[in-house]
């Protein structure tokens, strides 16, 4: 309910569109995500999640690839690294390069119960390595993650803060709300609403809803496809997302033995 109220406040304070570069920023690793929304869940201890994602948006025209890695330090602590690369921006083929590289960790300090949600926090740092146009010169960020399962639906809410190092840029906030609807033992329907304050001015530059589908291809690989649509004439006005991810080593199947007594 708190997350929904925050989004209602966002709608009230909508103003004229902004046109800042649509940075990827610090992002979660699939399948421990709903697109840009973090889950309280993490890889198991010593598991490595590898996620290669493609993001194509229109108005502005941005084509981007993103590599994310997550490692389960424990069952509750996840180390995350991400590196986005823009290979096309605003129809100018010479505008390409890396965005900031991101490192962080996520800690689930409250496990979900029948009545209480799971709660986690994250802390991260960004560093400049590529094209100045796509960089914030690094910075520091953090956030809170809440997850709760209700029947076949898992709901997740995030509040994420980032303070860039570049003096002309301003602190920014992301408010994410995502759901996963289990439709079979290996597939889910994903829904997400994301709102973001602009990094270069005190306005909201992104309000977007997203719909997609995730399927577990094998015991350790997943594929996710989705579309994002603009709300209230913001930018970008449409987005296509695709990712393939792996979780290694795969979890061993638990075999239950039934022993009958002989009389």
pLDDT digits (tens, 9 = 90+) for 209-219: 999 999 999 99
Q: Tokens representing 223?
A: 């594929």
Is 255 domain-assigned? Answer: no
Is 256 domain-assigned? Answer: no
Is residue 121 within 8 A of residue 110, CB to CB? The reply is no
Q: How far apart are the first and last CA of the chain?
A: 59
Residues of the chain with pLDDT under 50: 1-19, 263
Is 262 domain-assigned? Answer: no
Question: Percent of the chain having pLDDT more than 90?
Answer: 65
Is 185 domain-assigned? Answer: yes
Which of 117, 120, 116, 136 is closest to 128 using CA atoms? 136
Alpha-carbon gap, residue 139 to 125, rounded angstroms: 6
What are the φ/ψ torsions at residue 159 (nearest 5 degrees)? Answer: -125, 115
Residue 17: predicted pLDDT: 41
Alpha-carbon gap, residue 235 to 231, rounded angstroms: 9
Is 259 domain-assigned? Answer: no
Residue 65: predicted pLDDT: 96
**Cis status of the peptide bond prior to 25, with omega within 30 of 0:** no
Is 123 domain-assigned? Answer: yes
Residues 6+ apart with CB under 8 A from 142: 121, 122, 123, 124, 160, 161
Alpha-carbon gap, residue 181 to 118, rounded angstroms: 18
CATH number of the domain where residue 20 is located: 2.40.160.40
- Number of structural domains, the chain? 1
Residue 92: predicted pLDDT: 60
Alpha-carbon gap, residue 23 to 151, rounded angstroms: 35
Residue 203: predicted pLDDT: 85
Q: Tokens representing 224?
A: 């996710």
- Domain with 190, as residue range(s), is 2-248
Residue with tokens 């697109």: 35
pLDDT digits (tens, 9 = 90+) for 23-67: 898 999 999 999 999 999 999 999 999 999 999 998 878 899 999
Is 32 domain-assigned? Answer: yes
> At 169, is the secondary structure helix, strand, or coil?
coil
Is residue 39 within 8 A of residue 145, CB to CB? The reply is yes
Q: Tokens representing 230?
A: 């603009």
Tally of CA atoms within 13 A in the half-sphere of 126 that contains its CB: 28
Is residue 200 within 8 A of residue 207, CB to CB? The reply is no
Alpha-carbon gap, residue 96 to 233, rounded angstroms: 26
Residue 21: predicted pLDDT: 64
Is 126 domain-assigned? Answer: yes
pLDDT digits (tens, 9 = 90+) for 190-216: 999 999 998 888 888 889 999 999 999
């Amino acid at each position: 309910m708190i997350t929904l109220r925050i989004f209602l406040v966002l709608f009230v304070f909508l103003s004229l569109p902004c046109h800042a570069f649509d940075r990827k920023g610090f992002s979660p690793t699939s399948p421990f995500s709903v697109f840009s929304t973090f889950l309280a869940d993490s890889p198991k201890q010593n598991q490595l999640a590898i996620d290669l994602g493609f993001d194509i948006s229109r108005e502005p025209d941005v084509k981007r690839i993103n590599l994310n890695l997550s490692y389960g330090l424990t069952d509750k602590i996840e180390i995350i690294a991400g590196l986005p690369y823009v290979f096309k921006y605003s129809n100018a083929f010479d505008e390409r390069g890396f965005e900031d590289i991101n490192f962080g960790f996520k800690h689930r300090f409250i496990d979900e119960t029948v009545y209480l949600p799971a709660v986690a926090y994250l802390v991260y740092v960004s560093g400049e390595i590529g094209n100045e146009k796509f960089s914030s010169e690094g910075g520091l960020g953090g956030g809170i993650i809440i997850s709760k399962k209700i029947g076949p639906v898992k709901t997740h809410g995030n509040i994420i803060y980032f303070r860039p190092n570049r003096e002309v840029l301003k602190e920014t906030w992301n408010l994410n709300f995502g759901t996963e609807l289990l439709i079979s033992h290996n597939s889910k329907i994903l829904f997400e609403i994301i709102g973001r304050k602009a990094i270069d001015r005190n306005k909201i530059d992104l309000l977007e809803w997203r719909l997609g589908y995730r399927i577990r291809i094998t015991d350790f690989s997943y594929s996710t496809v989705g579309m994002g649509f603009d709300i209230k004439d913001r930018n970008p006005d449409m987005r296509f997302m695709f990712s393939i991810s792996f979780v290694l080593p795969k979890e061993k199947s638990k075999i239950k033995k039934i022993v009958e007594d002989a009389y």
